[in-house]
A and B are shown apart, each in its own frame.
Chain A
Amino acid sequence: MNYEELIKKMALEDERFVVMTAENRALIRNLPQVLNERFIDTGITEQTMIGAAAGLALRGRIPVVHALATFLTLRAFEFIRTDVGIGNLPVKLSSFVPGFLSDGNGPTHQAIEDVSLMRGIPGMQVFCPADEQDMLYALPKIWTSPNPSYVRINIRKSEYQHDKNFEIGKAEVISKGSDVTILVYGMLFDETLKTKQLLESKGLSVGLINLRSLKPIDEAAVLDAVKNSQLLVTVEDHFLTGGLYSILAELLLKNQLTANVLPLALNERWYKPGLLSEVLNYEGFTGEKISEKIIKELDKKVISKI
């Protein structure tokens, strides 16, 4: 099963689904002939597509809407906020090449404020699957929820066997650790798995949490890590402002807690474009580089075990 097969299966079983795209067909090339009128390509018109999706949702449809992440969230932002958000309509946004996944496109295509923007819309749910399998476990529940949603589409393969039981608002706790807990979402999950192994090989107790659902966030899982780990690390291909680091800060304040936090994100800058492997290396987001930063932080701030 891949993304296209899942959407096809769900749409054939449920007449409410319509598939829309602003001429981005990379993952849905075979759907026009299967869904006929329920496949709607509006051309390069993100605003019209979102407005029309709201209209279709008013009529009882569930539009699953596709566009590149930047154009979807930025060009059409006001339509998402005003038509989908105020209307509280079940429009399902599927964003292609979010975060580091736009690799060589350059800053015009770097959606690294998308989580911040989307979670700011009342009622909008935000999901960032770790890889294809994680995403396929999540989408059926996301698409049948009555809320509008934003999903960072991620079709990367991974060896990791995720928990099949995806729940909206639930994180996937990979491990618990007393020295450090890594909070991560999206495609960087695989890198942090490597980080976890590297740190464990040095005798550290390492927690790792895959935040599949960023809004609603799994408060219990995050607070458990806050209480039981000496250091928290947020890892995200997003601006430092408004993403996971901000979510954590909000959560800590809300619960009158404090914590040692190392935020790994893009601080007031776009990333250097290139092949994904180049980007990860240059920006310091490989498993090895994340692990080095964590060790440095632990040395500096928390414990001198190493």
Chain B
Amino acid sequence: MITMTETTIKDLEATAIKVREHIIKMSTDGGCFIGASLSCADLLVYLYKEFLNVTPHNLKDPNRDYLFLSKGHDVPALYGTFAELGFIEKDRLKNHLKSNDHIYWHPNRNIPGVEFHSGSLGHLPAVALGVALDCRMRKQTNKILVITGDGELNEGSVWETILVASAYKLGNITFIVDRNQFQANIATEELIPLEPLVPKFEAFGCNVQRIDGHDFKALDKAFKALPVNGNKPNVIIADTRRGKGLPSIEARADRWFCNFTHDEITSLIGELHGEGKTEIGSETLTVR
């Protein structure tokens, strides 16, 4: 196996920084779910740049790979990635929450690259299952990925779908868990404990890997190790940190949805680049 070069890693890191800047910029004038967006930014940058056969030019090709974002509230990370990779114009992100576009707190299929709308948790594993069944019927070798949150694993429909995927021996589907340890208001393990997760998925008949979701080498190793003609659904648990990249909000239960002031945004972008922590006013923490 060819491991990633340092140049590739540097390039991914640089893109991930830009994506995080987009996310921060979307967390004002109405705000966004910044914590969950920052936790999966590295994952999305890796997948779209290094793994998925999806480009702005093959979005109608039935043989493309599919990525379904089931935890739709992290859409700023997706749109930030799309902006960096040319799926959409960077300027378009300024339309966040404006009625002249379709950019809001959850994904919309009018944005090029969005395979399906989400927002209600526990849906897209099932939708991805349907796509995976069809791809197999047509003897395609493309991959179908679906990203769920860890809090999302509270939803019974996720487990229902995994049971069915396992029964149908669907090796072309991969369930990715953005394991950032938090659901909306509280640490997952304080509310509905999920661990041990690996044996849970294994007991459901899945091929499971668990990796550091911020380590591009580890991501690459895990995704490149997915079997080509497997007969088990795959699960990749990506251990991440909510709010990754911004120490002032990282891994804090009360930093889920934020609506920052413009000054705070400027300071947070500085923080992203290694400057000091931002003083955040209490009014920026909005409950949604």
Q: A residues engaging B (CB < 8 A)?
A: 37-38, 40, 42-43, 45, 47-61, 63, 78-79, 82-83, 86-87
Contact = CB atoms under 8 A, between A and B. Distances in A.
Given A43-B164, A43-B167, A45-B163, A55 B120 contact: no
Contacts of A43: 163-164, 167
A56 B134 contact: yes
Contacts of A49: 126
A47 B134 contact: no
Interface in B105-157: 109, 115-117, 120, 122-137, 157
Contacts of B164: 42-43, 45, 48, 52
A156 B183 CA distance: 50
B130 A55 contact: yes
Contacts, number: 89
Contacts of B116: 54-55, 58, 83, 87
A48 B161 contact: yes
B263 interface: no
B123 A56 contact: no
| Interface residues of chain B: helix, strand, loop or mixed (majority) | helix
Given A48-B164, A51-B161, A83-B127, A61 B117 contact: no
B160 interface: yes
B274 interface: no
Contacts of A47: 122, 126, 157, 160
A113 B164 CA distance: 29
Contacts of A40: 133
B54 to A, nearest CB: 15
A58 B135 contact: no
A66 to B, nearest CB: 15
Contacts of B157: 47-48, 51, 79
B56 interface: no
Nearest to A44: B160
A58 B120 contact: no
Given A37-B137, A57-B130, 19 more contacts: A37-B136, A38-B137, A45-B163, A48-B125, A48-B129, A48-B160, A48-B164, A51-B129, A52-B161, A55-B116, A55-B128, A55-B133, A56-B130, A56-B131, A59-B135, A63-B130, A79-B126, A83-B116, A83-B123
A52 B127 contact: yes
B62 interface: yes
A51 B124 contact: yes
A86 B115 CA distance: 13
A165 B262 CA distance: 64
Contact of B62 (A54, A55, A59, A86): A59
Given A47-B157, A48-B160, A55 B134 contact: yes
Contacts of A52: 126-127, 129-130, 133, 161, 164
16 contacts: A45-B164, A47-B160, A48-B129, A48-B160, A50-B126, A51-B157, A52-B129, A55-B129, A56-B133, A59-B130, A60-B62, A61-B134, A63-B130, A83-B123, A83-B127, A87-B109
Given A43-B164, A47-B126, A87 B117 contact: yes
Nearest to A59: B134
Nearest to A40: B133
Given A43-B163, A47-B157, A48-B160, A59 B123 contact: no
A85 to B, nearest CB: 11
B15 to A, nearest CB: 28
Contacts of B126: 47-52, 54-55, 79, 83
Nearest to B156: A47
A86 B123 CA distance: 13
Given A50-B126, A83-B123, A55 B117 contact: no
A37 B170 CA distance: 13
A53 B62 CA distance: 17
Contacts of B128: 55
